[in-house]
Chains A and B, each alone.
Chain A
């Protein structure tokens, strides 16, 4: 069953061009110097009930704008948007009953009150039956041991604890679809794992459709069957996660601080690596920040340990870091045609 249907959806914003300095600020008061920003620029996709879809892209790609349209906060500029057969914007209150929303940067919990009070308020807002309410809280307690947090004031919770409570809150009324906007932002690894497991469990046991926006490729890999990559308001990729992980999961970037770095170092490095690992080795070299040289390796084609060993024995290296490929890299590579 198609739960969410987007056809040629767009959202344009009129933005005032602000000028620099005090003079500029005064000018802006009377300015009609606007420019149109196409935050979402004609996107189409369908989401089936029960799916977990990763909606990813770099900062300013249009992710949050799309979510805000799907949740009925923003009015689309053009195109069709149906959630469960209705326009969320025109049927805001009715649609709100069937959806849950978590904005990672904000909380829907009552800051000054114990956690349980917020849940009790939501129970009334969504007219949740007492039995069902108890059952849901019991289930969350089994999953993450939430009960110890109930009497705590929300303001005293850690970011991770608060996020667990926020996610619980958004699932309390057993919605058909839950939108999670950056649910793991700023969290440490162990709490991220907990949040991922709870999301998976809820999706499995209740067949809740989940739309997840994130910066974290780890979230996507752990949760999603399908991902939609968006950038500059347009869809770059929409399909199975497998193809994407097959392509990017194997990438690692070696960040090296090379002693006696000079203008020729990069060229020398490139030459020697080509000599050692062949021409089609999938290794790219770039200098992205001062003193650091990035060597990105496709582990399917060259082993990380081999490359690292080779560089260490041929160059004097002061420091090494190994990082996973970032969202920005993925988008750049998709642009360059990696998924074609």
Chain B
């Protein structure tokens, strides 16, 4: 375990090297949120509530969605594909470490170092410029844990896409496709309440909602009963475990390609 904490420490240090990059990411997010503000205001003209969400709730949801996206977007799949393609992966295989855990902790450095720089502008914008009304409740307490689980599920998905690098020389198409599917089906761009009821039923059975919809709802509607949040966390935990197992199985198969066919 100490080894992986050392990787995390290294990753945080690397994160510091690229600190300027975060500022630009945060700046880009501010621009996006301003656009979202006007878009959603026009959607809510003449209405106080759509699909059970007030304008303030919808705006909070969408702004937070794009902010969480920055934290979850680690480019793990791109990094892995690069390592596999140029053969650096061989270096890791000669070390007494687990590739998945190594990849996880080295990619955790970026969201950890950028946590404040990414979240602070969002909060400032929502509180002082958009002046939205915040509901308060136990949801806020569960949010950090929910976000952590969301990060792990998102990582697992990226990791699986990264593993396809063992089979194909370019993961570009696969990665972009995944990106689009996730951004729509996870409720990152649009709260899932806005989807037709039948679609919502299907999405409830997919892992994507656990990446965005679940943590975002904890802050959007934080006043619900604690048991509601516990169920949400339970579902997230189940998806975390399930995707973890799939990752282990997939790695076992993918690595055979390298080991048998050579790199």
Chain A contacts to B: CB under 8 angstroms: 11, 13-14, 39, 65, 68, 71-75, 89, 92-94, 96-97, 99, 101, 103, 105-108, 110, 112-113, 117-118, 120-121, 123-127
CB pair A94 B96 closer than 8 Å: yes
CB pair A103 B91 closer than 8 Å: yes
**B94 partner, pick from A14, A72, A107, beta carbons under 8 A:** A72
Central interface residue in B3, B98, B256, B258, by most chain A CB within 10 Å: B3
Closest chain-A Cβ to B17's Cβ sits at a distance in Å of 5
CB pair A96 B14 closer than 8 Å: no
CB pair A126 B6 closer than 8 Å: no
CB pair B3 A125 closer than 8 Å: yes
Q: In the complex, what residues of A have CB within 8 A of residue B124's CB?
A: none
Closest chain-B Cβ to A61's Cβ sits at a distance in Å of 15
B2 within 8 A of A: yes
Closest chain-A Cβ to B178's Cβ sits at a distance in Å of 22
A120 to B5, CA, bound (A): 11
Q: In the complex, what residues of B have CB within 8 A of residue A123's CB?
A: 6
A125 to B95, CA, bound (A): 8
Closest chain-B Cβ to A40's Cβ sits at a distance in Å of 11
Closest chain-B Cβ to A135's Cβ sits at a distance in Å of 20
CB pair B91 A106 closer than 8 Å: yes
Q: In the complex, what residues of A have CB within 8 A of residue B204's CB?
A: none
Closest chain-A Cβ to B98's Cβ sits at a distance in Å of 8
CB pair A89 B6 closer than 8 Å: no
B93 within 8 A of A: yes
Indicate whether A14 sits within 8 Å of B261 (C-beta atoms), given known contacts A113-B13, A113-B14: yes
A107 to B88, CA, bound (A): 8
CB pair B2 A127 closer than 8 Å: yes
CB pair A73 B258 closer than 8 Å: yes
Closest chain-B Cβ to A161's Cβ sits at a distance in Å of 19
Q: In the complex, what residues of B have CB within 8 A of residue A94's CB?
A: 96
Indicate whether A106 sits within 8 Å of B90 (C-beta atoms), given known contacts A112-B14, A121-B7, A125-B97: yes
CB pair B259 A97 closer than 8 Å: no
Nearest chain-A residue to B96 (Cβ)? A96
CB pair B91 A108 closer than 8 Å: yes
A71 to B6, CA, bound (A): 24
CB pair A68 B10 closer than 8 Å: no
CB pair B94 A65 closer than 8 Å: no
Contact code string B1-39 (vs A, CB < 8 Å = 1, else 0): 011011101100110011000000000000000000000
B45 within 8 A of A: no
B202 within 8 A of A: no
Nearest chain-A residue to B106 (Cβ)? A110
Closest chain-A Cβ to B82's Cβ sits at a distance in Å of 12
Q: In the complex, what residues of A have CB within 8 A of residue B14's CB?
A: 110, 112-113
B46 within 8 A of A: no
A72 to B259, CA, bound (A): 9
B234 within 8 A of A: no
Q: In the complex, what residues of B have CB within 8 A of residue A99's CB?
A: 94
Q: A117-B10, A121-B6 are in contact. List 16 more A-B contacts (CB 8 A).
A: A68-B262, A73-B259, A74-B263, A75-B259, A89-B259, A93-B96, A101-B91, A106-B90, A106-B91, A112-B13, A112-B14, A113-B10, A113-B14, A117-B13, A120-B6, A125-B95
Sorted nearest first, the 7 A-B pairs with minimum C-beta distance are A124-B6, A96-B96, A101-B94, A125-B3, A75-B259, A121-B6, A93-B96
A39 to B90, CA, bound (A): 18
A75 to B257, CA, bound (A): 10
A105 to B5, CA, bound (A): 28
**A124 partner, pick from B2, B86, B94, B261, beta carbons under 8 A:** B2
CB pair A73 B90 closer than 8 Å: yes
Q: In the complex, what residues of A have CB within 8 A of residue B180's CB?
A: none
A72 to B261, CA, bound (A): 14
A-B contact list, 22 entries, CB within 8 Å: A14-B261, A65-B262, A68-B90, A68-B263, A72-B93, A73-B93, A73-B94, A73-B259, A89-B259, A92-B93, A96-B96, A110-B14, A112-B13, A112-B14, A113-B17, A120-B6, A121-B3, A121-B10, A124-B3, A124-B5, A125-B3, A125-B6
Central interface residue in B5, B9, B96, B263, by most chain A CB within 10 Å: B96
A51 to B140, CA, bound (A): 63
Q: In the complex, what residues of B have CB within 8 A of residue A105's CB?
A: 87
A8 to B114, CA, bound (A): 54
